[in-house]
Structure formats: structure tokens, C-alpha cells
Amino acid sequence: MSMRKAAASAPGKVILFGEHFVVYDKPAIVSAIHLRARVEAWIHNQPGVWVGNRRLLNHPASRAIEYVFEKTGYTSGVRLKISSDIPSSVGLGSSASISVASAGTASLITLGRIDKELVRIAASEGEKIVHFNPSGIDTSTALYGGGGLYTRSRGFTPIEIPLKKILIIDTGKTRRTGEMVKRVREFMEKNKERFNDILTREEELIGEVIDAFRGLDFEKLGRLMLENQNLLREVGVSSMEIEEAVKLALNAGAYGAKLTGAGGGGCVICLAEEDKIQEISKIISRRFKVYLTGLSAEGLREEEI
Ligand code: MEV
């Protein structure tokens, strides 16, 4: 049964290991975080997706919604209100969570329930507008929530991540994911053999991460984070600010740190002992904005409206 109004929210994400290489079908480890985007939608008498008096065109949210409308044969429009506590263009999956929450409200309005498979495909369509060749990791994480091992060909497999919180350092520089993905492709085209070796190592590294999760070996996880950061730097997606944030985190006593998401600016995640994390956060906050956020957050959910 269709609904006249609906609201849904979806979480942001941090990629703990494996961004960029996931585009080439290597595994990555990801977690939903406790920062969310919320979308409210009301049936509107004019076709299309509207925010106030403006028709939203060529936007991930409108594309995701229009996809749901096309598939369900809905011909009216919707008016939207989008709010989010996820900073945008810094690697935390802000646009994917908006796409997923938008598709979720469209599914509620047209079908009266959330059809997860429809939402997944609709949100991926939305993401194609802002990304270049998205692997689907951001939308899958916003949809399913929790922690996951993700590969492009096999999708999202839930896994237990033995970390309650993660310290996120925002370098303050925004960038476009699509451009960073293209940068890695250029590296690959110029350095085919080396790139293959990097992919092989990344895949082994993810296996070592899973073992370290099982053994709760945080020192090892920290070392693996730094190695992952070295590989990302080599393919050209680190930046001066990222390197500075990583050094600052290590000097403050973190086990490891690396960029998260597309890089080129954006955010760095930092792994530290639970009782040291507040102190480290305080030190880093003198230079960068920091977020201490919980992991394994709930995925897409219907909200009260
Ligand atoms: C962006 O959050 C993650 C990237 O690996 C791109 C993608 O997987 O679509 C950089």
C-alpha cells in the first residue's frame, strides 16, 4: 500500500582497508558509522523530485528516487527535505547515504515498504552521477549497515568488527571521488605490472586483517593500516595533509592510521587503544577537526514523520 509521506535514514561509512583496490574487484573492509543522513518525502502533485520550489535534477537523490518511480510505475512527484550530520566530499559516504535514504523513502511511498534490492540498485544509479565507476561499497554499507567484507562481484558479506569506536581526522580538504578513481586508473595504465603486484598484496593484506580481527591483535592491525596507506600513497591518492595527519596520529600514540575513502584530502582514520583514544583525539584536535564515532551502525531504516 502506498504512503502519502515517508522518512528514512541511512548511515555514513568508513572504509577500514581496501578503498580504490575494491574498484578492481579486490576485497575491502568497511563499517557503517553513527553519523546519518535523513530524508523526508511528501507526495507532490507535479512529477519529479522537488526541494522547496526547485526541481532537483541530475542529483544522486533525484536519480535514485526517479529509478524507484520508473520501476514501480509511479507518475506523481515528491517534495523532499534532506538533512545530514555526515560531512560531504571527505570520504565518509555522505552522498551514498543520501541516495540510499532517498530511494528508501521512494520505496515506502510507492510500495509501502522498503524493498532492499530495489533501493540498492536505485542508489547505485544515483551514485553514478557523482562518481566514476563506483564499486558499490558506499551504497551497500549505507543500506545494510554493520561491518562488512565487500567485493564488487560478490557484494556485501556482514562481518564482526572488533572495534567499538574509530577516530576520524578531517583534513579539511574536499575532493571529488570520481577524480581520485581516475587518478588510480592512470597509475594503473602507466604501471601495469606494479599495479598487479599491489592488488595481490592488498588481497593478502585483507586476509591478514581478518586474522588480526579474530586474534584481537591491534598492534598488527595498526601495522597493516600503515602498509595500506603506503600502497594508497604509491598509487597517488595521498596528500600533504593526509601524511601530516597520519604522522600526528602515530606521534600521539596511535597503532596506525590511513586515509579512508577516495583520499586526495578528506579523512584519515586512526586506530588506538580504547583508553588512549580520548587523549589522542585531544592532541589531534589542536590541528584538525576530529570525530570520535561508533562503528557497525544500523543500515537504512524507516523513520517517524
Ligand atoms: C569511495 O568511498 C571508495 C572508492 O574505492 C571508490 C569506490 O569504491 O567506488 C575510492
Closest-CA residue, ligand 1 atom 9, reads 134
| Domain at 237, CATH number | 3.30.70.890
CA of 137 to the centre of ligand 1 (A): 7
CB 57 within 8 A of CB 137: no
Alpha carbon of 269 to ligand 1 centroid (Å): 15
Is 138 tagged catalytic? Answer: yes
CA neighbor of 209 nearest in space, from 245, 264, 255: 255
Q: How many CA atoms lie within 13 A of 305 on its CB side?
A: 21
**For the chain, percent of residues with pLDDT exceeding 90:** 92
Residue 50: pLDDT over 90:
yes
Are both 189 and 151 inside the same structural domain?
no
- pLDDT per residue as tens digits for the range 94-121: 999 999 999 999 999 999 999 999 999 9
Nearest residue to 145 (alpha-carbon basis) of 177, 120, 113, 109: 120
Q: How far, in Å, CA of 8 to CA of 30, rounded?
A: 22
* Pair 130, 88: CB distance under 8 Å: no
Q: What is the pTM of this model?
A: 0.96
Q: In this predicted structure, what is the pLDDT of residue 84?
A: 97
Structural domain harbouring 205: 165-294
The confidence score (pLDDT) of residue 130 equals 82
- Structural domain ending residue among the three candidates 133, 160, 187: 160
**Whether 79 and 131 share a structural domain:** yes
Q: Is residue 305 part of a domain?
A: no
Q: Whose CA is nearest to atom 8 of ligand 1?
A: 135
3-state secondary structure of 135: coil
pLDDT at 57: 93
For residue range 57-87, list pLDDT tens digits in order.
Answer: 999 999 999 999 999 999 999 999 999 999 9
Active-site residue, selected from the candidate residues 25, 85, 138, 217: 138
Helix (H) or strand (E) holding 121: helix 116-130
Please report whether residue 302 resides in a domain.
no
Residue identifier of the C-alpha nearest atom 1 of ligand 1 = 261
Tens-place pLDDT, residues 164-199 = 999 999 999 988 898 999 999 999 999 999 999 999
**C-alpha–C-alpha distance, residues 49 and 231, integer Å:** 41
Which has the minimum average pLDDT: 118-122, 140-144, 273-277?
273-277
- Mean pLDDT in the chain? 96
Give the atom of ligand 1 at the shortest distance from the alpha carbon of 131: 9
C-alpha to C-alpha distance for 61 and 37, rounded to whole angstroms: 12
Q: Is the pLDDT of residue 274 over 90?
A: no
Does 180 lie in the same domain as 130? no
Q: Are residues 266 and 130 in the same domain?
A: no
Cα dihedral 223/226/230/236 (nearest 10)? 160
Task: Look at the chain and report how many structural domains it folds into.
Answer: 2
**Where is the domain boundary, 118, 140, 160?**
160
Over 90: is that where the pLDDT of 3 sits?
no
Residue 210 lies in a domain: yes
pLDDT in tens, 226-254: 999 999 999 999 999 999 999 999 999 99
At 1, the pLDDT band (50, 70, 90 cuts) reads: low
Which of ligand 1's atoms lies nearest the C-alpha of 23? 8
> What's the average model confidence in pLDDT over 125-136?
88
Specify the ligand 1 atom closest to the Cα of 262.
Answer: 10
Residue 186 CA, distance from chain mean position: 23
Identify the CA nearest to 303 among candidates 34, 36, 72, 32. 36
- The C-alpha cell at 123 is 542508489
